[in-house]
Amino acid sequence: MKAHELRQSFFEFFRSKGHEIVSSAPMVIKNDPTLMFTNAGMNQFKDIFLGNSQPGSTRVANSQKCLRVSGKHNDLEEVGHDTYHHTMFEMLGNWSFGDYFKKEAIAWAWEFLNAKLGIPEDRLYATIFEGSGDDNVPRDDEAYKYWQKCFRNSPGHVLEGSKKDNFWEMGETGPCGPCSEIHIDLRNDRERKVTAGHELVNKGHPQVIEIWNLVFIQYNRKSDNSLEILPSKHVDTGMGFERLCMIVQGKKSNYDTDIFQSVISEISALTGKKYGTSESCDIALRVIADHLRAIAFSIADRQLPSNNKAGYVIRRILRRAVRYGYNYLDMEEPFIYRLVPALVSVMGDQYPELASSKDQISRIILEEESAFLKTLGKGLKMISKMIIDLRNEGKAELPGKVAFELYDTYGFPVDLTQLILKENDMQLDIKGFENEMKSQKERSREDASLDAGDWKIVREADDTIFTGYENTREEILISKYRKVKIKGKEVCHLVFNKTPFYAESGGQVGDTGFISSKNEKIEITDTIKENNLIIHVAKKVPSEPSNSFIAEVDTQKRLMIANNHTATHLIHFALRAVLGKHVEQKGSLVTPDRLRFDFSHFSKLSRDEILKVEEITNRMIRENHQKHVIENISLKKAQSMGAMALFGEKYGESVRVVEFGDSVELCGGIHVESTSGIGIIKIIAEGAIASGIRRIEAVTDGKAYEYINEKLAAVEEIASLLKSPGNIKEGVEKLIAENNSLRKTIEKYQAQVALSSLKNLTDNAINIKDIQFLSGQIDTDSAETLKTIAFEIRKSSENSILVIGAAIGNKASIVVMVSDKLVKTKNLSAVDIIKEISVEINGGGGGQPFLATAGGKNPAGISRAIKKAEEFVRKM
Ligand code: ATP
Ligand code: MG
């Protein structure tokens, strides 16, 4: 059975059991402060388990793209070294939200694997929770009973497991419960006879592995660590699709399935390395085949590789792939980007976002690969230099700190550092390195830590009603609150029954403002979303939370935000009109002060294009288009009206459309009533943020007015400095011309100085072993003069060494020249001389054998440096 057929058969099976098949949520998570990437199928349903929102359907199933490379689940180091952990993988899952429980979940899992797919009973094992005295949770007898019914012929295949494997928790706090894992034994009969399968379950044997985890959510873990029983119980299951494929296709490794095979053959074709020839090669092929998927899918989800957070995680994955290619497949040129078409042909059908951003994915990977290969080259050079230094100092161990710096600043992998050191009979202070790593991890944990207390319920309430489209002021009740420590500072999170505050999303920042009751007024510094929960960040806990409050949005800021948000739509529209329909939104930021808009386009915008965008948007402002909002229509209908859906964005069943004239967008944000409110749009910056992605920054209204006035003020100032207010351009041109002619005069003067010094130098030259040694301090304030002299001597004499210096300001400059013939015949180098003498001027330098220069902080040392050079030549 082919992979895609298997995926379909899972869907069909659960559809036949009354499940609605939903699509995968994006792999990159944008509105959950506790999670950067989806790492399990349940993530997108977290709100339902937490009771923050109601499910559309109580039975759902899907295939979810997951990434396990950071946080609680990090499999990165396993990937490639084993054959069944991936960075990005698909998790098949079925869910019950307060609907069926253990009986059906177990019976259906069994039916699907055993009856439908024909996986033999004697190769399967199931585990149940053994119970925990600490938590006062009994053994899961219920699950045991249902499993016994499945394993009729192999009763010994139902095993007990500890809290580590068989009690699942969402996080430190929150929904949790016992789980049952299903394992498979893939070993051959001979091995199975020697060691019974049940002895190898959960023991890390590569052929006895977990395939499916059925979680029975029945408790809530509170922050004091106690468990409370949930009023309604849920089922959450997750099965590794690649592993299931391996089983069904009769393979021993996920990489032997059709999911990976075509990509692996493509890598072989590009690198000339066949799969199955050597262990290290195979690991590299697996690493690359795996990482390609993770990178491609996250770029398709609009998460580009970058320097921080989620982007940095992606960059690290890509670099790991490049490095394995470099170390084990001898790939010193970019090649991973060329694998994208092969990946798209396997997965593009199920995941159209991949197919549609194919070219962009290739381009971005190429760019990253090239940059990192350069880094690798640079790192290699640095290590060679360090090895020489160590050797000179008679040492054989590289300090951990240095290796960490190479790793952290240049992304230079530590195992490569170790390898190179080994080749040079040296070693790394690995303890020191690990200590540096540990303290960095601690630093970043502290930075990211968000220490949240339990929610204190003030009153039972449904989902918060958002009234901010119409109102900025509202009488509200607090439904719950909690204290949160962020980086050591305590704030309070508040949830209301209704709110006029817009929570940060879709690029628009959260509202700020106040809440006030009859006895206090508390500042709201931000409004954020945790999944669908609207949270107001308050400076302190209200003294009487049960009071009623007036919630008031800072309307001045709100107005500026609305201006900028609508302006973003107009810019998007204008960009498509000016540049073409390939322009797609790739990201945006809307703040009160300015807006930022990222979009796909291949080249720098010309001045003309920018002016056209400004012209179109400002005309739309003057035409005063009214806002036209359509709430609650289907995504299909919205798209037929011309609105563009973004890949990597999660849309609900119904969407909101915002129109201004011909601009039509899917948007949940806040906008002006009509375009004239924006006043003016002025683009203040345009540049590239990644290959094929440009960024525009702009300001509107008062900020645009300020910006333009500032620019005009600068022009006026220049005019008054030039004393030619009429024609600034002419004035500046005149100034440049004057400057050029002055420079020429100076150069002439310098040449004269050089000439007279030249004469002096040759007059005072001394002869050392048939070499004409010229030296002296030159009176000049340009280091260029020194070089001019050096080149003159080099031209005119075959047998000379020249060492000259000058005090320029409070710095010293030295130039050493060695005639070409001496370089060749006597193997002399100006670099050696400069290295020897530059300590005297407190500096350093380098260059080429015939000419080297040095700069230093001590002009008083020039004469000593010259003397030293003379001694050096005498000693040769
Ligand atoms: P393992 O012990 O094998 O790492 P797990 O306990 O981390 O698995 P769960 O968190 O229960 O796994 O995830 C559910 C299922 O997802 C697993 O049974 C497995 O089939 C699959 N799975 C988990 N991690 C990976 C991974 N890194 N790559 C591929 N499949 C995975
Ligand atoms: Mg795991």
Ligand 1 contact via 170 beta carbon (within 6 Å): no
CA distance 60 to 72: 25
Q: Name the token pair of 502.
A: 């817009």
Residues of 56-87 as b/e, b for ≥16 C-beta within 10 angstroms? Answer: eebbbbbbbbbbbbbeeeebbeebbebbbbbb
**pLDDT at position 173, please?**
83
CA dihedral 425→430→433→437, nearest 10 degrees, is 140
CA 247 to centroid of ligand 1, rounded, Å:
15
Residue 655 sits at φ, ψ, to 5 deg, of -125, 175
Ligand 1 contact via 413 beta carbon (within 6 Å): no
In a 3-state reduction of DSSP, which class is residue 307?
Answer: coil
Ligand 1 contact via 747 beta carbon (within 6 Å): no
Closest ligand to the CA of 69: 1
Minimal-distance CA residue to ligand 1 atom 25:
85
Ligand 1 contact via 513 beta carbon (within 6 Å): no
Ligand 1 contact via 215 beta carbon (within 6 Å): no
CA 126 to centroid of ligand 1, rounded, Å:
15
Which ligand 1 atom is at minimum distance from the Cα of 78?
Answer: 27
CA distance 267 to 291: 13
Ligand 1 contact via 515 beta carbon (within 6 Å): no
Which ligand 1 atom is at minimum distance from the Cα of 181?
Answer: 18
Closest CA to 627 of 583, 565, 691, 687: 565
Ligand 1 contact via 255 beta carbon (within 6 Å): no
Residue 80: DSSP 8-state: T
Task: Give the mutation target among 73, 91, 179, 259 for probing the ligand 1 site: most ligand atoms within 8 A of CB.
Answer: 91
Mode of pairing for the β-strands spanning 654-660 and 663-666: antiparallel
Query: What tens digit of pLDDT does each residue of 345-356 get?
Result: 999 988 999 998
CA 68 to centroid of ligand 1, rounded, Å:
9
CA 73 to centroid of ligand 2, rounded, Å:
6
Q: Name the token pair of 767.
A: 């002869």
CA distance 236 to 763: 93
Ligand 1 contact via 93 beta carbon (within 6 Å): no
Ligand 1 contact via 239 beta carbon (within 6 Å): yes
Task: Give the mutation target among 212, 213, 244 for probing the ligand 1 site: most ligand atoms within 8 A of CB.
Answer: 213
DSSP string, 794-850: HHH-SSEEEEEEEEETTEEEEEEEE-HHHHHHS---HHHHHHHHGGGGTEEEEEETT
Minimal-distance CA residue to ligand 1 atom 11:
213
The vertex-866 CA angle with 865 and 872, nearest 5°, equals: 90
Task: Give the mutation target among 62, 202, 210, 257 for probing the ligand 1 site: most ligand atoms within 8 A of CB.
Answer: 210
Closest ligand to the CA of 75: 1
DSSP string, 736-757: HHHHHHHHHHHHHHHHHHHHHH
Which ligand 1 atom is at minimum distance from the Cα of 39?
Answer: 10
Closest ligand to the CA of 210: 1
Ligand 1 contact via 238 beta carbon (within 6 Å): yes
Residues of 157-182 as b/e, b for ≥16 C-beta within 10 angstroms? Answer: bbbebebebbbbbbeebbbbbbbbbb
**pLDDT at position 199, please?**
94
**pLDDT at position 500, please?**
98
**pLDDT at position 449, please?**
56
Which ligand 1 atom is at minimum distance from the Cα of 91?
Answer: 16
Q: Name the token pair of 398.
A: 């590289």
CA 75 to centroid of ligand 2, rounded, Å:
7
Closest ligand to the CA of 161: 1
> Is the whole-model pTM more than 0.75?
no
**pLDDT at position 322, please?**
93
Report the first-to-last Cα separation within the chain, whole angstroms: 79
In a 3-state reduction of DSSP, which class is residue 54?
Answer: coil
**pLDDT at position 722, please?**
85
Closest CA to 53 of 632, 532, 650, 668: 532
**pLDDT at position 454, please?**
85
* Segments of the chain scoring below 50 in pLDDT: none
Which ligand 1 atom is at minimum distance from the Cα of 86?
Answer: 28
Task: Give the mutation target among 95, 180, 243, 297 for probing the ligand 1 site: most ligand atoms within 8 A of CB.
Answer: 243
Closest ligand to the CA of 182: 1
